[in-house]
Amino acid sequence: MTTPLIHPGWAQPATNMVTGYSLEMTAKDIGSLRAAAPAIRPTAPVAVTFLPNEDPAARIAAVKAVRDLGFEPMPHFSARRIGSAGAFEDYLAAAVAEAGVKRCFVIAGDPSTPEGPFTDSMALIASGAFERHGIAAIGVGGHPEGHPNMSEEQGFAILEAKCAEIVARGMAPLVVTQFAFDAGRVLSWLAALRARGTDAPVRIGIPGPAGIKTLLRFAARCGVGASTAVLAKYGISVGKLFGSAGPDRLVDELDRGLGPEHGPVRLHFYPFGGLEKTVAWINGYDRAHRSRAPERTV
């Protein structure tokens, strides 16, 4: 499957692993985004999550803040949390009209019973709403460390079907993975994805620096599993839950392991410890590696 690139920057060599990064935020993080904005790279994609019990107006305000601060907004759409087709269209139309949104991210969402007519993210893609509103790119989820409700084979098959449907509708697919602790599993998953013929750009989910308890809490909530050995390799000791951990080892291992066979890859940061702390870590990594690392083509 041949797919267009999401952004011209993907076609340029990356100086190091954090070149071309993207970020994630919630509707409550506008203040944090404003505080971190001077240190965030211009035009960086910033995803705005779709959490329960949020006012849609708050999500639109966050999406608009991303655009107003000079970044590229990518609002989430959680299929099972959308109450009606009208609510879906209204939110999408407002995001386009008020923030010039060109890319969106779709997920099924956590509820076992849909709150409206959409049972999964494919239902949103197949509705035709995104292309009607001029959306150019659609992000879909990938799960290198597995999904609690499906086998690896099912995960790949569903991901491939979504990418094919997005391409058929004249848009560009982008895969954004759940955050992971295990670089080896991420690399194996990427190699398998490419071997099956999916060449869509992939953003690997990276947990930003945060307290160890915070990281483990989000991991449990998101279904990310890791053995004691993997956590220790990442820098987390289950016997010492105080203190913080950053993604240095994970990113370094990805840097060493990624090759042309893994296709176009960038990083997507989940700032569990806060946007300012995550952006500071990214810029520190960039400074430390920019002068000595050879150019990458991932």
**Residue 68 to residue 240: CA distance in whole angstroms:** 42
Note the pLDDT of residue 237.
Answer: 55
- Was domain 18-286 assigned CATH 3.90.180.10? no
What are the phi and psi torsion angles at 151 (to 5°)? -75, 170
Note the pLDDT of residue 238.
Answer: 54
Average pLDDT score, the chain: 87
Note the pLDDT of residue 298.
Answer: 44
**Residue 167 to residue 164: CA distance in whole angstroms:** 5
What pTM did the predictor assign? 0.89
Q: Give me 142's structure tokens.
A: 């990938």
Work out the pLDDT band at 181, boundaries 50, 70, 90: confident
3-state secondary structure the chain: CCCCCCCHHHHCCECCCCCCCEEEECHHHHHHHHHHHHHCCCCCEEEECCCCCCCHHHHHHHHHHHHHCCCEEEEEEEHHHCCCHHHHHHHHHHHHHHHCCCEEEEECCCCCCCCCCCCCHHHHHHCCHHHHCCCCEEEEEECCCCECCECHHHHHHHHHHHHHHHHHCCCEEEEEEEECCCHHHHHHHHHHHHHCCCCCCEEEEEECCEEHHHHHHHHHHHCCCCCHHHHHHHCCECCECCCEECCHHHHHHHHHHCCHHHCCEEEEEECCCCHHHHHHHHHHHHHHHHCCCCCECC
**Does 218 score more than 70 pLDDT?**
no
What percent of the chain has a predicted confidence (pLDDT) above 70? 83
Q: Mean of the pLDDT values across residues 123-135?
A: 97
Domain spans in the chain, listed from the N-terminal domain onward: 18-286
Q: Mean of the pLDDT values across residues 84-113?
A: 95
- Lowest mean pLDDT segment, chosen from 19-33, 124-138, 180-194, 231-245: 231-245
